[in-house]
Amino acid sequence: MQITADKVVAFDYKLTDDKGELIDSSEGHEPLLYLHGQGGIIEGLERALEGLKVGDHVNVTVQPEEGYGLRSDELIQEVPRDEFEGDEDIEVGMQFEADTPDGPMIFTIIEVSDEIIHVDGNHPLAGETLTFDVTIREVRDATDEEMEHGHAHGEGGHDHD
């Protein structure tokens, strides 16, 4: 069975940056599971997997525009420290979710001073050229429930309502 829209796909992967440094891997974990055509993985990778079948192996290089986007200086902000009241132990690298006009976003603290906290709303991999080493492990039809929810469910179903 080939990977096409509305198929559930499981794949093993290694993800490296443009210097060949390992960023992430499924090694030692379950394969990544997603519903093809529903935006569950980045655009460039999903497009490259179209038409593959179980056992196929591919190396895919994804440019930032088809990955996590380009970095945007507009997503780096200075927030008064008093807006973090109750959080005395603020450190660089910490992440938090905040509601924005575009919906919830994850921000990473990039600089801390006595008065100002600098935060970055860019995805950590924004602006990166990414290379995926992928092996397809499973391709199957999505269940009615998966189609209704718009994402794949692992063994045992799902953990949301």
Q: Domain with 38 in it: what CATH number?
A: 3.10.50.40
Average pLDDT score, the chain:
92
Question: pLDDT, tens digit, for every residue of 93-146?
Answer: 999 998 888 889 999 999 999 899 999 999 999 999 999 999 999 999 999 999
Residues 49 and 11 in one domain: yes
Residues 57 and 129 in one domain: yes
Question: pLDDT, tens digit, for every residue of 48-67?
Answer: 999 999 999 999 999 999 99
Provide the domain count of the chain.
2
Residues 107 and 140 in one domain: no
Residues 11 and 82 in one domain: no
Residue-range definition of the domain harbouring residue 99? 73-120
Query: pTM for the whole thing?
Result: 0.83
Residues 49 and 80 in one domain: no
Residue spans of beta strands (DSSP E) within 28-147: 32-35, 57-62, 76-80, 95-100, 103-112, 116-120, 130-141
